[in-house]
Amino acid sequence: ANSPFDCEQGVARRSRDQASGRGLDEAHFRALGGCPSGNGQEQPHGQTMNSLLWTLAAAASAEVVRLGYFGEAQPFQVACARGWFDTEDGGDDFQVVCLPQASGGFVVSKLDEGDLEVALLGSTPAAFAVARGVDIKHLYVAHEKGSSQGLLVRPEIQSPPDLDGRTFGTPFGSTAHYHMMYIQTLFPDVRFDIIDLNGLNPLDLYDAGTIDGAFVWGGWIDGLVQRNATMLFPAQVLSDWGKPTFNTISARADFAARRPDVLERVAGVIARLDADYLDDASTRWGAGAGGFVADVAAAYGASASPTQAELDTAAAGLSYFSFVSPDTMQGPDYLGGGIAAALKATARFHLETNTVAAVAPAGTVDEDAFYAATTSAQSLADGLASIPASVLDTAGTGVTSIPESADSTCSGTVDLTATTGTLTDGATTSYSNNLACEWRIASGGVVELTFTVFRVWTGDFVEVFDGSTLVAKLHGFDRAWPPLRTTGDMTVKFTTDGVTERAFNYLLTDGWSASYDAEALVCAADHSTCGNGKCDTVSGLCICDAGYGGADCSLASCLGTMTSSSQSGEFRSSPTAPDRDEPYPNSAECHFVADVGTSFGYVSFTVTYDVEPTFDFVSVNSGDVTWARLSGEDTATILVPTTDGKASLVFTSDSRGRRGGFSATYVAKSVTCASNADCGGHGTCDDGGTCVCDTGYGGLACTVPHCLDGAPKVTGESMVMVSQAPGEPVPAAADCTWEFQAAAGRSVRVVVETLDLEPYRSAAKEGDMVVIRSTGATDIELTSTSFQKSYDIASSGISVSLETDRNDVGETYTGLAATAYAVDACPVVGGECEEQGFTCEPTSGLQGPGCYDGGRAVGCACDLTGCPEGSFFDESTGGCEACRPGTFKSATGPTPCEPCPKNFYAPESGAAMCCRQGWVLVDGFCRQCGQNVGAYVLKGARCNAANGTTVATLEVKEHFFRFSPESTSVYRCPEDDDACRGSSPGLEGYGNGLCKTHAHGPLCMLCRSGYFRNSKTKEDLKAVSECVRCDRIGEQMKQLLTVLLMIVAWALVILGIRRLRSRFNRQWFEAVLIQFVYFAMTMSRFVSIHQVPLPGFSQLVMRALDVFTFDLSSLHSIAQCYRTYNYFHFLMLATLGAPALLLVFIVCAVVRAVARVVACGAPAAPQNALAEEGAAAEAVPLHRRVAAAVRQDLGGVLSKWMLLISLFHSAICCAIFQIFNCTVKYEPFDRKFLVSDYSIRCSGPGYEAHKAYAIVCAVIYVTFPLCLFLVLWRPRRLAAGGEEQRKDPRHVDDGALAFLTNNLKAEYWWFEVLAIFLRSLVTGFFRFKADVKISIVLCLIVTIIHRTFVLQLKPYASSGLQHVVEALMRFALSIVLLSVCLVGDLIEDSKDALWMVTLVFLLNVASLPLAYQAFVSESYRGVARRLQAHEPVEAEEVEELLRSAHAEAIREDVRKRSRQILREAFDGKLRDESWTYFTGTLLALEGVWAPEVHAEEVLQWHVESMLARAKKAGGDGAIDAGAVERSVDIVAGPLAATLTEECLSPTAAFERLRRAQPPGGAPITLLRVYAEVLKPFFELDDQHPQKLWHSRKENPVLHLAALARNKSDQISTSLANLHSPPKSPTSPSSFSLSRSSSGVSSARSLLREASDPDDVAPTREENLASGLAKFRRAATKIQIVRAFASAREPRRLERFVDLALIAHDLNQQAQARIAEAAAKVLDEPRGADVVALKSFDNGTDQPALRSAELVAFKDKVGGAALESELDASVCVGALHDLANAAFPAFKKALEKLFPPGTEGVELECAADVAIKKKTRMRAKVDEYRREAKPWPRAEKLGDCLRASVVVAGAEQVVAAYEALAKDDIFKVVRLKNKLAGRVKPFNLLVNLAFQPPAPPGLAPLIVEVQIVPKAIYDKQKASHRLYSIARASNYASFSGKKTAVDTAPEAADDGGDVEAPTAVRPGRHAEVARRPSLMSLPSFLSWTRTSTRPVVAPAPAPRLDAPT
C-alpha cells in the first residue's frame, strides 16, 4: 500500500480525480509497469516514477517544449496562438507551449532549473545569468526596448531631484531593474528606495501608497497611466545615455545541443513575423478582429476573445518597441558580436553595482570569447532558409483558451491521523498563488511520504520536517523524488509565491500529489533497503553515504538534514562533489550535523568548496551562531566550539547559478590548540590552549586570511579587530562581527587605525561599511569617506561588524584595523570630577588620562604638572623636558611621551606628533610632501628619510629649487630648463647644490663664467636649456645659423609672393603674411613673458614662432661669452633700434638719390607721374633734382619703416614690459628676480633707473598707435569738413601708412591701429601692476574683445583675409585660454595637458583650410574670371568690391571688359542682351567711371586718333575759324564740352596760333590747332613753368610716398593692360584699345611733332620771339624757387571720358562704313532711280493744329505769354494722344503694304518706338521756338508717329516709296532723300498725310516712314550703340544727372528722339534690364548732324493729289 495504486487488490487507486487530467486510471497505471503482470509485487519507487514520466511523454503526440515570454505585445505571439511553432511530421514532433512569465529573474531560474527550454529574456537578466554561469545560448533578438518600459511616477514628481526620499518598485533582475540602478548611479545625491515587484502587483502598491512609482512594462504601464502617473524616464532615454536594453530569445545550452531543429523552427517563424511587421506594405497588423493583432491582444491581455479596446492596446503596445530586421540581426551589430559586447557591458554594470561577483564565472580566461560563445546566428540563418514566408498564410489553430492558476483547495493546517492517505494542493488544473498549506501526520513509528506527481515551479516549495529538523525542501517540474521518512510525526508544508503561472492555448497541469503511510516499515537490518547507505537499527531510518539523500539513499544529492554521530566524518553536497559536471541544484538547503558529544569542546571542519561566489554559501555553525560563511572556491579549516556537543554545516544555494558543491571532513577536539602547529602557521598557541592569531587572520585556528562572521567575545582591557591579513583582499559578502565587553562601570573607546574600504552608497546599498552597535544606543556607521579616529561608547559592551558587498569592482583596499579599549567613566553624567568629590589620576595607555562622561571627555581639571605638548614631566629635573626622538606627546598634561606607532616617525626631539612616511615635521605639525598648503610650498619635495624627515633633511625633486636648509618653500624651475637636478639623501638639498654642473644662481638659471645657456630639443620634443662652454663654436653657430636660415626663408617667401602674376594674389598673400606675423609675434611674446608651461610639442611650436619672428633673446647668453651683457642692454637695443633703423633708411635713401642723379646723370623722376619725361634736365638746378629724388625715395623708405615697426611693435613692447616681469618673492630672503634675466634683482638703483626709462618707452610705444590713428584721421576729418570729394571711395591717400588701411573696408580704416594697440597690451602690459595669473586673465579679456571686434565688425575688405584673421584670433584665444588653465593649475596632470594642448593646436590648424577656401572663392576672383570670360556679373558684386581692397583691380577689369564690348558692338558681333547688360550694369557702376584721374592717363591713348581725325578733316592746307568750329564734333567728340570748360576750345587755340604766326610762316592746319589744344593736358604748355612738384600743401613727411604712388598706379594699370588682345594698327582706335605701355611718351612725341611746323629760315620776328623765349626761360628759373609753394592741381578727367572717346572713334569709323554701304547701294542697277527721287516739301504741317479756334483759344487764355506752355502741354499732349489712338490703324495700314514675310522688305513698327515721346516732342517744339517759328510750333512735328521699312537694296527702296505714294490711305507731303544726297542717316525720310480709318472721328495726322537699305540699317545699329556712349561728355550727363538735350543739343533735330538715360542706382540690374535703351534706333536714323557742306533747298514738292 505504499504505491499510489494498490497492486495487491488488482485495482489502482487514483491519487487524484481522473477529471483533473493529472491522475491515471488503472489501465494507464498498469501500462506504465507500476505492477508487473501476475506477480503483484510493488516496483521500486524510483522505477515507478520514471515509468510514469515516460508514459506521460509517450501519451502525447509530440514533445512539449516550454517557451516563456513576458506580458508585452510581440509579433511572435501570433505563432503561439496559431501553433506555427509546432511540427507533426511523424518524426521528432514537438509542441511549443507559450507560458507568460513575471520577470526575467524568474525566467533565468526556470531556464537553469529546466522548467523552461526556451524563453524571451531581457538583456539585464541575460547578462546576469551569463555572468553567474547559467548555461544558455542567445539565438534571436526579439526587440530593442524603445519606449516599452519606463519609470512612471506620481504627477508631483517632475524631475530627478524629486525622486529623493521616495520608494519605487521594479522586478529585480529585469532590464527595468538594471535601468533603475543606472538612475541611482546617475544621480548619486538623490536617495530613494527600490522594492522588488516580483510576485507583486504594482498597481495595488501604487494605490496603497506603498510606492510612488514603478519601472515596469506592458499592461502595468497602461494601468499606472490610468492612475495619472507620468513617465519620467523612458527606457529609450536611458539606452541613449549608454545603457541599451533589449530582449533576446534564449535557450538552455543542453536543449540547444539536443534539439537544434526546434530552435531553427522558432527562430525562422519569429523572423518571418518580425519581417512582416516591419514591412509597411503588410496589411495583417490592423487593430481589427481576426488579424494578427487579435492574437497578440489575447497573449497581451489574457483574453481569448479580446475587445476592441484590448486590440487597440495591443497595437499600441507593438509600437513601443524597436524591432530588428532578420538580415540586420545576423550582422556584426547584433548576433555577429554586438549582442555579446552589450551583454558583457551590462554584466560590467552589474559588477559595479555589486549585483554579481564577477563579469564571468571564475576561471574564465577570455571574457570576450566567453560572451561571444553565448550568441549565435546559426539558428536564425537555418530558420530563414527552411521556413518560407508563406507560413504566415497558414490559418493555424487560433486562440482557444488561456488557462491559469487559481483553483487550489488546500489552506491552513491539516492534521492527518489516518494511517495512510494522500496529500495534494487540491487544484484541478493549476495550483494557486500565495499558498501556505501545512499537513501534520501523526505517528508513533516511521512515516513514509511518496510523491506520485510533482510539478512545482521555481519559487514554490514543498518542505518536509521531522519535528523541527528539515527532511527535504523540494521543487521542480516533472521531478522524480525518492520517498521521505521520519521517526515520529511528519510535517509537510506547501508555500507558493505570488507569480501567476499561465499557459497559452495549452492545458496547464501543475501541482503535486503524494501518499503517506504512518506505519511504514523500518529499514532492513541487512541494509538492503538503504541503497547507498546503512540502516540505523535504532531509528529505523537509513543513514546515507556522503552526498546521497532520500529515505532509500537513492538520490545522488544532499537532501534535508544529515547527522553524523562519530568523532570524525565526512559530508558532501553530492557523491562526487565538488564536481562541476554534476552541479548541485538551485534553491537547495542541506544541513550536516556533527554530533561529537559533550566530551569534546570543539569541532574542526576542513571544507573544500566550489560554490557560486557571494550567492551560495557553506556556513559553519554552532548552535544559533554562524562562525563562518564560505563562498567561492577554496579549502578552509574552521574550528568552532560545540553547542551541546554539536556543530554543523549548512549548504544553501539561490535560485540560479550552480557550481560543483563541496566536501568536508570534521574531527572533534578538546582544546583549540596544543602547540603552535595547531594554529595554522599564522598564530601561536598560548598557555591556555588558545591560538593568538597574526594580524588579519580569522578563526580559532588562525586558518583563514580574513575575518569570519563570528569570533569569540573578548572581555578585559582591549580587543584588536582586523578585517584581513596583509596583502589579502577585503572579504566579499562578509558580515564579520567582533564583540567586546568591558568591566561594569566602564565605557568603551574604539580607536580606528585603518579604515580603507570600498565607498559606501547608502541609496543603492552598495559598498562596504563598519557598524558599531551597543545596547540602547543608535548604531554608528563608519565608511571610508566618513569616520573619526576614535569613538567613545557610553556602554560597557559593544559589537563591531564589518559588512561588505559582493565585490570591490577590481580595486584593492586595506580594510579595517581598529582597537576597542575599556576606559573609565565619570560617576556622574555631565558632572565635574572635582565638584563631585573625585580626584582625577593619570592613567597609562592610549586611552589617556582624565574622566569620561559617557565616553566623552568633560571639563575635568586633571593637569598635575601641566607639561605642554611635545614635553613630559621629568622627576629627575623637576621640570618639563622635550620628548626624545622617536616619541611624542600631543596634548598638554602630565602624560609621558609615547613611542611613535609603527611606520610613524618623530625625527626630532620635542615632537607633538609623529609623522608617517611622506610627511615632514614642521613647526610641530606634520606637513605632507608633494602638496602646497598655505605658506608651506612642498609640492617639489620628497620625504623619504629612513627615520623620518625634518626641514633640514628635505629632499628636492628634479626641476625644483630651495634657497636654504631652513626654507619650507620649494619652487619650480622654469619648464624649458633642466639645470635643476634635485637632491637625494646625502647631497646638499638647497641652493647651488641643486644645480647641474656649471649652473648656479636662483633656480639654477645662471651659467658660470665661460659658459652660455644653450637651448635644444630632446627626444620627447621638450625644449630644454643647459650651460655649454663658450669655446664650443659649433653650438653658437647653430643658433646663429637658425637666425640666418630664417632670414633666407623670409626672403624666399617675400620673393615668392612678389613673383605671383596676379596682383590680387600678391595683395592677398602679402596681407595674410602680415597678419600671421602679427599673430606669431604677439603669441610667442605672450607665452614667453607669462612663462606658460606648455607641454612638449606645443612648446616646440612656440619656439618655432620665436625663431620665425626673430626673437633674439636666445642670443643673450652667447653675447655673454664676449662681453658683459644682460637684459638692460637688450632693453636699450630694442627701444632704440627703431629710430636708429629710420636714420639708416634715410641715409640710404639720400645716398641712392644722389648716386642716381649725380653719379649716373639720370634726371630726377618727377613727382607727378604724368609730367614730361623728356624735359631738359638743365631746366632744374641739381640740388632741386636731388631734393626731388630724395623726397621720392623717402616715401618708399618711410612706408617700409612703418611696416616694420608695426610688425615688430609687439616684440618691442614685450621687451619693455619684461622689466616689470619679476618672480615671486623667494623665501627666506624676500627677493625678486627678473624673469628674463635672473642675474638682475628687482630692486636697487640700477633696476629702478632702467625701470623709469622703460616706463618712458612704454608710454611712447603704447601710444604709438594713437599717433598713427591721428595721422590717418586728419585727412578724413578735412575731407569731411568740406574739402572737394573725389568720386573714388578710397580717395584718401594714406601715403606711408597705406598698408594699414589697404586691406580694410573704408569705414573701418582705424581697425588695424586698434589691433596694434590691443596686441601691445597682450604682450605683458598688465605685468606693470598685476601678477602673472591676473595678467593672463586680463589678456584673455583683451583677446576676447579683439576677437569680438573681428567677428562683429568684419572689418577686412577681403572675405578670405577675414577668415584668416578669424582663424588666427581663434588660435590666439585658444592659447590664452590654455594659458589660464596651465598657469592657474586647472590642468595639473602633464598627460592631460599634452593631449588637450595638442588637440587645441590641431583643431586650430585644421581651421586654416577654411580661410584658404575663402581665398579661393574670393568675390574678386569670381568677378574677374567672369569678366575675362565675357560672362555677366551682378552690379551688387562689383559695387561691393569697389569698397574693398581690390577696388582698383576690379575697376580696370570692368573698363577692360567695357572696351571689348565696344569693339564687339563695332564689329556687329554683340547680342542685344549683352548690350543691355553693358549699359544697365557695367555702365551703372559710378565707382568705376566717375573717379577723376590726371588727364594724361585718359588722353594718352587717344592723341593719335584725335590728331588723325584732325588731319583727315582739315588736310594739310590752311583753315579758317569756321572749319575749326565745324571740326569740333568730329575730332573732339565727347571732349568738346571739357575743352570749353577748361578754356581750351579749338577756336581759341586757332586764334592764338593765328596771332603768333609770323608772316610767311607755315600755314595753320587743323592738326596744329588740336595739338595746341591737347598740349596743356600733358604739361607741354609753354605759357606755364614746368610743374615738377604738383604736391598738395599737406604733411611734408607722410605724403612723400604718395608722390610715388601715382607712378606705381600708372605702371600697374599699364601692366594690367598688357594682357589685352592686340588691336589692328590699321586705324587710330587700335592704339586707344591696345593700351601700349608707351602711351604717355608716344602721345607727347606726337604732340611735339604736330605742334612744330617744318623748319624754315628764322625771320626778324622769329629772332625777336627767340629772345623773348630766352627771357621767359630766365623767368622760369626764378619761378622754380616758388615751385614747392605754388602748387597747382593738374587737369583731371573722368575715366568715363576714356570710354566715350573710344566709342566716338569707333563711331566715326562706323559712319565711314555706312557711307561706303550707301555708295554701294547707289551703285546698284536701280541706284539711278533712287537718285531720281528728289527731295521736296509741299509745306503741309499737322492738320489737327491748323485751326483758328486753337489760335483764338490761345489768345483768350493768355496770348503770347502762354504760347510756350500751351505748345509744350496742350499741343504736344494732343498730338501724342492722337498718335496713340491712330497707331493701330497706322501699323495695320503699313502691314497691308508691307506684309510680314515679304522677301527683301522688313517693317519695323513697335509701339514703344513708333510713338514719339512727349519729352522729345517738347524739346523739338522748344527748338522751333528758338528758331522763331510761328505758333503753334507743334504743327511742325512730322514724326509723332513713325516707322521704318528695311529693304534689301536700291530696287526695293524705289518700290517701297512707290507703294507708299500710290496708297489711298497715305498722301506724300514731304520727301528727304538723304541716301541720294549721301548724307547721314543715308535713308529716304517720307512724311505722309494719314487719315486713320478707325476709330472714327480722328483728325488727319502727318506721319513719318523711313526707308533704309538693310546693309545700312545693320551698320547704323552699331553706330547707334556707339553714339549712345560717345554723345555724353561726362558720366553725369550719361547717367541722366544732366539731360541729353542740354549736353548734346546736336541730337535734337527735326527727327531726333534721343531719350536721356535714367540715372541707375547701383545694385538694380534687374530694373535696368527692363528699361528702354539709351537711344532708339529709328530716332538715331532720323537724326542728322549739322553738315559742313551748304544746305541745298529741296525741289518743289507736288501737290497732295499730284502723281508721283
> Range with the lowest mean pLDDT among 719-723, 1418-1422, 1456-1460?
1418-1422
Residue 1024 has pLDDT above 80, yes or no: no
Residue 1422 has pLDDT above 80, yes or no: no
pLDDT at 1543: 67
CA distance 502 to 1620: 95
How many other C-beta atoms lie within 10 A of the C-beta of residue 579?
Answer: 18
Model confidence at 520, in pLDDT bands (50, 70, 90)?
A: very high
What digits encode the pLDDT tens for the residues 1270-1279? 888 888 876 5
Helix (H, G, I), strand (E, B) or coil at 658: coil
What digits encode the pLDDT tens for the residues 1798-1810? 888 888 887 777 7
Model confidence at 1646, in pLDDT bands (50, 70, 90)?
A: low
Amino acid at residue number 59: A
CA distance 1498 to 1503: 10
Report yes or no: 1684 and 1589 within 8 Å, Cβ to Cβ.
Answer: yes
Residue 1037 has pLDDT above 80, yes or no: no
Q: Which residue has the higher pLDDT, 443 or 1172?
A: 443
pLDDT at 153: 95
Tell me the three cell numbers of residue 227: 492612475
Model confidence at 1585, in pLDDT bands (50, 70, 90)?
A: very low
pLDDT at 249: 95
Over residues 1376-1382, the mean pLDDT reads: 84
Report yes or no: 949 and 960 within 8 Å, Cβ to Cβ.
Answer: no
Q: Which residue has the higher pLDDT, 357 or 1392?
A: 357
pLDDT at 770: 94
What digits encode the pLDDT tens for the residues 1881-1922? 888 889 899 888 878 878 888 899 988 898 888 788 788 888
pLDDT at 523: 93
Measured on CA atoms in the order 1475, 1481, 1487, 1490, is the torsion positive or negative? positive
What digits encode the pLDDT tens for the residues 580-609? 889 999 999 999 999 999 999 999 999 999
Residue 310 has pLDDT above 70, yes or no: yes
Residue 782 has pLDDT above 80, yes or no: yes
Residue 368 has pLDDT above 80, yes or no: yes
pLDDT at 1746: 76
Query: What end-to-end distance do the CA atoms of the chain give, in Å?
Result: 155
CA distance 1999 to 833: 157
Tell me what the pLDDT averaged over the chain comes to.
77
What digits encode the pLDDT tens for the residues 1914-1947? 788 788 888 888 888 788 878 764 333 333 333 3
Tell me the three cell numbers of residue 1150: 639720400
Report yes or no: 982 and 975 within 8 Å, Cβ to Cβ.
Answer: no
pLDDT at 547: 93
Beta bridge partners of 137: 251
pLDDT at 1569: 82
Over residues 369-396, the mean pLDDT reads: 91
Model confidence at 1414, in pLDDT bands (50, 70, 90)?
A: low
What digits encode the pLDDT tens for the residues 233-287? 888 888 777 788 899 999 999 999 999 999 999 999 999 999 999 998 898 888 7
Length in residues, the chain: 2004
Within 8 A by CB and 6+ apart from 1394, the residues are 1095, 1096, 1097
Residue 1320 has pLDDT above 80, yes or no: yes
Residue 1964 has pLDDT above 50, yes or no: no
Q: Which residue stretches of 304-407 are H helix?
A: 308-319, 326-329, 338-352, 367-372, 378-386
Model confidence at 1160, in pLDDT bands (50, 70, 90)?
A: low
Over residues 149-177, the mean pLDDT reads: 90
Report yes or no: 1831 and 1767 within 8 Å, Cβ to Cβ.
Answer: yes
What percent of the chain is modeled with pLDDT above 70?
A: 77
Report yes or no: 605 and 649 within 8 Å, Cβ to Cβ.
Answer: yes
Within 8 A by CB and 6+ apart from 723, the residues are 696, 706, 707, 730, 731, 736, 802, 815, 816, 817
What digits encode the pLDDT tens for the residues 686-711? 888 889 999 889 888 898 999 988 88
Residue 938 has pLDDT above 60, yes or no: yes
pLDDT at 679: 92
What's the whole-model pTM score?
A: 0.46
What digits encode the pLDDT tens for the residues 1281-1315? 444 444 344 457 777 788 888 888 888 888 888 99
Q: Give the DSSP H or E segment for 4.
A: none
Residue 647 has pLDDT above 50, yes or no: yes
Model confidence at 1430, in pLDDT bands (50, 70, 90)?
A: low
Over residues 746-764, the mean pLDDT reads: 82
> Range with the lowest mean pLDDT among 543-552, 623-632, 1524-1533, 1657-1666?
1657-1666
pLDDT at 610: 94
Residue 1709 has pLDDT above 60, yes or no: yes
CA distance 388 to 595: 67
pLDDT at 1445: 65
Residue 168 has pLDDT above 90, yes or no: yes
pLDDT at 948: 81
Residue 230 has pLDDT above 90, yes or no: yes
Residue 1733 has pLDDT above 70, yes or no: yes
pLDDT at 173: 75
What digits encode the pLDDT tens for the residues 883-906? 888 888 887 777 788 898 888 888
What pairing do the DSSP bridges indicate for beta strands 118-122 and 246-252? antiparallel
Over residues 552-561, the mean pLDDT reads: 93
CA distance 1211 to 1221: 15
pLDDT at 1116: 64
Q: Which residue has the higher pLDDT, 1041 or 1844?
A: 1844
pLDDT at 1061: 57
Helix (H, G, I), strand (E, B) or coil at 1164: coil
What digits encode the pLDDT tens for the residues 1590-1627? 333 333 323 333 333 333 333 333 333 433 333 333 34
- Distances, alpha carbon 649 to alpha carbons 573, 818, 1408, 1831, in Å: 11, 30, 76, 143
Over residues 1232-1254, the mean pLDDT reads: 85
